Structure 1
Amino acid sequence: MASHPGIALALFLASQRPGGRSRAERRLQRELAAGREDADRGSERLGATSLPRPPGPLVWLHVGSEAEALGIPELIDRLREERDDLGVLITTARHGPDELLAARLPRDVALQFSPYGTGPGVDTFLQHWRPDLAVWADNRLEPALIEAAGRAGIEMFLVDARVPERPGWRWFPGLRRALLKRFSHVLAGDERAAAGLRALGVAEDRIEAMGFLQEGTAPLPCSQAERDTIAEILAARPVWLAAGATAGEVQMVVEAHRQAMRGAHRLLLVLVPDPLEDGPALAAALEADGWVVGLRSGDDEPEPEVEIFVADLGDELGLWYRLSPISLMGGTLMGEQGARNPFEAAALGSAVLFGPHLGLWRESYERLRDAGAARAVADTASLARAVEFLLSPDKVAEMAAAAWEVTTSGAEATDRIVALVIEALDKRGV
C-alpha cells in the first residue's frame, strides 16, 4: 500500500491510463444512457468544445455542480471590477437537470463540463483553453485534472475548502495529501476544516479560514421611509413572515399561525403569496374564514387589530425581511415550485425557517442550518413550534447574529480570493 504522497499520486494516475480513451468513451455512453449527462454536450467530457478561447487573460473556475456554485457570479463581478479584461471559464464536475448557474452568468462567460480523468480529454481541454490560473471550488479533487494543470504551470487556489472526500481512493492513502500540495493557497470554509486540512499537510502559510464565497445575493432594497413608517405602526409587536408562500402552503402557514397565536395573541403574520396576483382572492378567503386581514394592494396598513397582512405588491421582500425577525422561505414546505434563496432573508438579519423541499438551494440552506442561522420544519405542527420558539428575543437574535456572520464571512472570502487572483495575474504579467 502506497504511503508517500508523490508515489500515491503516480500510482493512481498510472491505474487510470490503460485503455484511457475507450474507458472515457464507455463511461460517457453509460452516463448518457442513464440520463446523467447532456447528449448535446457529452463531447465536453472528452475534452472537446465548440467554444473559442477568449482573448487575453483567462481565469478558470472549477465547481462541483451548478447548485454548489452560488457564490461564483458574485466572484466574477468582483474580479471584473478589478480587471475588466478578464476572460472567465467555468467547469462543473457533476451534471444536474437544472441550469441555475448559467442563467446568472454574464453572456461572455464560458460554461463547460469538466473532462473525465481518463484518456486524453484532460490534455485536450488544457491545450485549448490555456488558463492563466485556476480557482478550484469542489470538495472532490480530480487527480488527473489537478496534476495536469500543475504540470502546465497553472497556479491553483482551493476555495470553499473542507477536508476532501476520498472517492475510491482506499488503496492510495497519500493521494489527498499529494493533491493538496498542488494548490498555492487554500481558503478553508471554517476553522474545523482548516484544522483537518493542516493535518493533511497544508502548510500554515498557505491556508486561511475565511468562510465560503459570498452567495451573490446583494441585500434586497427597500424604502427606508416606508420601513420606518411601518415599524412605527408595528411598534413592539411580534411579527413573522411567510415569503413567497405557494397556494398549497398557505393553509399550513395559516394554521401554524393560529397555533402560535395561542401563546402570543398579538402575533402578526405577513404573508407574501406566490404568485402575488393571488393577494386579493387570498385576503377575501381569509376574511371569510374569520381572520382580521390587511391587504397591501388595497392600501391597508398592518394596524394593531390585523392578524394576517397579505403583502402582495412586487419588489417589497427587502422591506418585509427587515421588519420580520422570522422568515419562512416559501416553496420549501410543499415543493410545488422552486425554493427561495435563503440568503435573501439571512443577509437582512431574519432567522430562516425552511421545509424539506430545498431544490437548487440545498447547499445554502444546509450551510445556514449548520451555522445556527436556519431551522428545519417538516409540517404545520413543527412550523408552529419553531415560530413559538423564536418569539423569544434572545433565541431569534442568536440566529440572526449567526446569519450575519455567515453572510459577512462570505464577503470576506470573496474579497480575499479576488486579491489572490489579481496578485497572481500581476506576477505572471498578464
Structure 2
Amino acid sequence: MNSILNKRIKAGKEDAARIQERFGISLIPRPNGKLIWFHGASVGETMIGLDLAAQLRLKNPELKFLFTSQTQTAAEIIAKRMGAGDIHQFFPFDKKQFVNAFLNHWQPDTAIFLEGEIWINMLLELSERKIPTALLNARMTAKTIRNWLAYGALSKKLFTTFKYVHAANTISADAINEFGFVRNIKVGNLKSAAAPHKIDDALVNEFLPLMKERPVWLAASTHIGEDEIILKSHEVLSLTGKKPLLILAPRHIERTEGIILMAQKNGFKTARRSMKQLPAPEIDVYFWDTMGELANAYRLAPVSLVCGSLIRGIGGHNPIEPAQIGSAILSGIYVHNFADIYKDLENISAASMIYDPSSQQIAMKLADLIFDKKEIAAMNIRAQNYLKSSQSIYDEVLGDVLNLVTGGNI
C-alpha cells in the first residue's frame, strides 16, 4: 500500500501532510454534541452535502457536521464553504482496522452518503454499531446496477443497512428496491434544487465592462479531446467578424498550459485568470484556470457549452449551475451521467443539444444563439421554471433528513 500511496502523493492525488486520515487517524478532536457525517467522493456530491448541512443548521443550530471526501479538489471546496466549527477529513481506506479507527474517533450520530459511495466494510460496521445511515441522491449507471445485481446476497445485505434512501432518478430507485431495500424511495435530483454557488460581484463588475461589446461564450469543464474541437469552433465563429470571446475552463487546470499552446498555434491571443490577467479587447481566448470560480464564469457568459459531453466515455457534467445562474445551455449528447436532467431541459427547450459535435456544427449552434438575446432570455426563464419545480422534492428530503438526525419518524 505504501508504494501506491507514494505514487498518488507524487501525482498530486493525496495530501502528504494528511495521509494519516486515510488510515482513520485524526489529529482533530471530536466536537461535543450531535455529529452529523456527510460523505461525498467529489465536488458535485460535496456541494449537496454542504447545502443540506447549512439548511439543517438553520433548523437546529446545535448540530455539528463532519464532511469527508476522496479528492483533494473536493477538500479545497469544502474548506472554503463549510460553516464555522465544521470539520473536513479524507475518507479512510475501506479496511476494517481503518474503518474502526475512524468510527472510534468520530462516533457520528448519523452517517449520510451522497450519490453512489457504497463501501462494504464501512457500511457493515455502521450497521453493527447501530448508527443510522442514509443514501441521498443515489445515482447509478446501467453498468453499476448490473454489477450490484450480480452480487445478490451481498447487495441486499449492504443496501438494507440504510435507514433512508432517496434517489436522483427512477432507474436508480427501482434498482435499489431490487437490491432489497423495500421501503418507499423518494425520487428527484437534489442538484436541481441546491442553492447556487455564490457569485463574486466585485469580480463580475470588473470583467463585464471589458466584455459588453462582444459576444461571449464559455466552454465549461473541458476534457482531453474536446479542446481542439472548441478552439476550431471559436475560429469558425470568429469569421462572423464580431470578435467573439471564448472563456475556456479546463476541468483539470493542470492542462491549461498545453491548451494555451494549442490556442496560440492557432493564432489566438490568450490570457489567464490564475495570473490575474484581464480579457482585454485584443484577447481571443480567456483561460479560466482557477478552482471554485466556475460560477463567476457562468455569470459572465450569456451562453455556455457544458463539456465532458462532446466525446464518448466522460458522461457530461451537471447543467444545473448554469441554469441557476442564467447562462443559456449548450451540450453534446454524451451525457449519460446526467441524462435525466438533460432530457428534462431539452424537452422544455431550456437546453440545446448538439447531435453532431463537430466544430462546424458547434459554431453554427453558437451563432444561432449567441446573437439572439431574446432566445437566451427565453431559455433562462424555462430553466428557472424547471428549477422551481424541483424545489418541492428537496424540501421533502430535507425534512426527512432532519427527522433522521433528530430521531424522529421517517
What's the TM-score bracket when you normalise by the shorter of the two chains? 0.5 to 0.7
Tell me how far 1:129 sits from its aligned partner: 1.0
Matched, 1:54 2:31: yes
Matched, 1:210 2:188: yes
Matched, 1:195 2:174: yes
Matched, 1:174 2:149: no
Tell me how far 1:57 sits from its aligned partner: 1.1
Q: Which amino acid aligns with 1:34?
A: K
Tell me how far 1:146 sits from its aligned partner: 0.9
Tell me how far 1:59 sits from its aligned partner: 0.4
Question: In structure 2, how many angstroms separate the alpha carbons of the residues matched to 1:181 and 1:316?
Answer: 41
Question: In structure 1, how many angstroms separate the alpha carbons of the residues matched to 2:220 and 2:67?
Answer: 34
Question: In structure 2, how many angstroms separate the alpha carbons of the residues matched to 1:141 and 1:347?
Answer: 30
- Out of 26, 29, 38, the residue aligned to residue 2 of structure 2 is 29
Question: In structure 2, how many angstroms separate the alpha carbons of the residues matched to 1:344 and 1:45?
Answer: 31
Mapping 1:380-395, distance limit 5 Å:
380-388=359-367
Q: Which amino acid aligns with 1:255?
A: E
Q: Which amino acid aligns with 1:175?
A: L
**Percent of pairs with identical residues:** 22
> Are the aligned partners of 2:5 and 2:14 in contact in 1 as well (CA < 8 Å)?
yes
Higher mean C-alpha deviation, range 92-101 or range 118-127: 92-101
Q: Which amino acid aligns with 1:418?
A: L
Unaligned regions of 5+ residues in structure 2, if any?
A: 206-211, 222-226, 248-270, 286-294, 311-316
Unaligned regions of 5+ residues in structure 1, if any?
A: 1-27, 227-232, 287-314, 334-339, 357-361
Mapping 1:137-176, distance limit 5 Å:
137-163=114-140, 165=144, 172-176=151-155
Q: Which amino acid aligns with 1:110?
A: I
> Are the aligned partners of 2:114 and 2:136 in contact in 1 as well (CA < 8 Å)?
yes
> Are the aligned partners of 1:343 and 1:364 in contact in 2 as well (CA < 8 Å)?
no
Tell me how far 1:330 sits from its aligned partner: 9.9
Mapping 1:259-408, distance limit 5 Å:
261=240, 275=273, 278-282=278-282, 324=302, 326-328=303-305, 343-353=320-330, 369=342, 372=346, 373=351, 375=353, 380-388=359-367, 403-404=383-384, 407-408=387-388
From the superposition, tell whether residues 414 and 258 of structure 1 become closer, same or farther in structure 2 (CA, over 3 Å).
same
Question: In structure 2, how many angstroms separate the alpha carbons of the residues matched to 1:245 and 1:197?
Answer: 32
From the superposition, tell whether residues 39 and 413 of structure 1 become closer, same or farther in structure 2 (CA, over 3 Å).
farther
> Are the aligned partners of 1:219 and 1:318 in contact in 2 as well (CA < 8 Å)?
no
- Over residues 251-291 of structure 1, what are the superposed CA-to-partner deviations in whole Å (9 max), with x where a residue is unaligned? 756534345x5xxx9x99576786485444427x99xxxxx
Question: In structure 1, how many angstroms separate the alpha carbons of the residues matched to 2:374 and 2:177?
Answer: 36
Matched, 1:64 2:41: yes
Tell me how far 1:159 sits from its aligned partner: 0.6
Q: Which has the higher contact order (CA 8 A, sep 6+)?
A: 1
From the superposition, tell whether residues 369 and 394 of structure 1 become closer, same or farther in structure 2 (CA, over 3 Å).
farther
Question: In structure 2, how many angstroms separate the alpha carbons of the residues matched to 1:208 and 1:168?
Answer: 23
Question: In structure 1, how many angstroms separate the alpha carbons of the residues matched to 2:320 and 2:148?
Answer: 35
Q: Which amino acid aligns with 1:44?
A: E
Q: Which amino acid aligns with 1:282?
A: E
Compare CA radii of gyration and give the structure with the larger one: 1
Count of paired positions = 340
1:112 is matched with which residue? 89
Question: In structure 2, how many angstroms separate the alpha carbons of the residues matched to 1:30 and 1:398?
Answer: 55
Matched, 1:242 2:217: yes
* Secondary structure of the structure 1 residue equivalent to 2:17: coil
Tell me how far 1:133 sits from its aligned partner: 0.9
From the superposition, tell whether residues 169 and 202 of structure 1 become closer, same or farther in structure 2 (CA, over 3 Å).
closer
1:415 is matched with which residue? 395
> Are the aligned partners of 1:221 and 1:319 in contact in 2 as well (CA < 8 Å)?
no
Q: Which amino acid aligns with 2:82?
A: L
> Are the aligned partners of 1:342 and 1:364 in contact in 2 as well (CA < 8 Å)?
no
Higher mean C-alpha deviation, range 376-385 or range 105-114: 376-385
Matched, 1:186 2:186: no
From the superposition, tell whether residues 251 and 120 of structure 1 become closer, same or farther in structure 2 (CA, over 3 Å).
closer
Question: In structure 2, how many angstroms separate the alpha carbons of the residues matched to 1:281 and 1:163?
Answer: 45
- Over residues 68-113 of structure 1, what are the superposed CA-to-partner deviations in whole Å (9 max), with x where a residue is unaligned? 4232222222121112221111122456697333333235221112
From the superposition, tell whether residues 374 and 80 of structure 1 become closer, same or farther in structure 2 (CA, over 3 Å).
farther
From the superposition, tell whether residues 57 and 91 of structure 1 become closer, same or farther in structure 2 (CA, over 3 Å).
same
Matched, 1:80 2:57: yes
Question: In structure 1, how many angstroms separate the alpha carbons of the residues matched to 2:145 and 2:320?
Answer: 30
> Are the aligned partners of 1:59 and 1:132 in contact in 2 as well (CA < 8 Å)?
yes
Q: Which amino acid aligns with 1:162?
A: R
From the superposition, tell whether residues 258 and 118 of structure 1 become closer, same or farther in structure 2 (CA, over 3 Å).
closer
Higher mean C-alpha deviation, range 213-222 or range 190-199: 213-222
> Are the aligned partners of 1:62 and 1:138 in contact in 2 as well (CA < 8 Å)?
no
User: What TM-score do the two structures reach when normalised by structure 1?
Assistant: 0.62
Q: Which amino acid aligns with 1:74?
A: D
User: What TM-score do the two structures reach when normalised by structure 2?
Assistant: 0.64
* Secondary structure of the structure 1 residue equivalent to 2:68: strand
Tell me how far 1:158 sits from its aligned partner: 0.7
